[in-house]
Amino acid sequence: MTLSEEGPARGSAQPDQSRTAEVTTATQALEDILQEFTRCLRIRSTDEVLRLFADDVIWFGSAAHEHARGLAQLRRFLADDVFKRPYTVEWVWEPPLVAVSGQVAWFVAPTIAVLHHDDGNQTRLVYRMSGVIEHVANGRWVIKLFNGAEPARSADAE
């Protein structure tokens, strides 16, 4: 993005309404994707999860083994790891921070991961989600980069 594409100079009294509309559109698309993503994880549907991602997706989680590049690796990771766990995950996120450039938006969202254990119990974990979504054909948005992680405890918290 060039400076001329950024809109009004800092301190300008006129907000860039087109930029605001882009962020609003991308934020709504992100909210829709995350809601659908959570629904698909809860029902353990690999195919439905994968349709939310770009073919060249990059995925990283908290643990060293939680990574995938491309849909084939993500399919294996979901089948061999995520959907074999004795719980499903539901994310409850605060309003995400979103920025947009052209057809791409990036985000970060403070989140609570609610683990719904197969025995009926629940565990709540502080979590962070960040990533990149891309606007593609037919008005769809897909996830290009996803990172979900449990933040490290600060020394002050102990």
Residues of the chain with pLDDT under 70: 1-15, 155-158
Report pLDDT for 158: 56
Residue 122 CB partners (closer than 8 Å, separation 6+): 114, 115, 116
pLDDT of residue 14: 44
Q: How confident is the model at residue 148, as a pLDDT?
A: 95
Q: What is the pLDDT of residue 15?
A: 52
The confidence score (pLDDT) of residue 157 equals 59
Domains of the chain: 18-151 (3.10.450.50)
pLDDT of residue 154: 72
User: Which structure tokens are listed for 46?
Assistant: 């690999």
Mean of pLDDT over the chain: 89
Calculate ∠ Cα 19-24-30, nearest 5°. 125
Cβ atoms 83, 42 nearer than 8 A: no
Reduced to 3 states, what is the DSSP secondary structure of residue 84?
helix
- CA dist 124 → 2, 26, 43, 112 (Å): 42, 28, 19, 6
- Work out whether the CA dihedral 23, 29, 33, 35 comes out positive or negative: positive
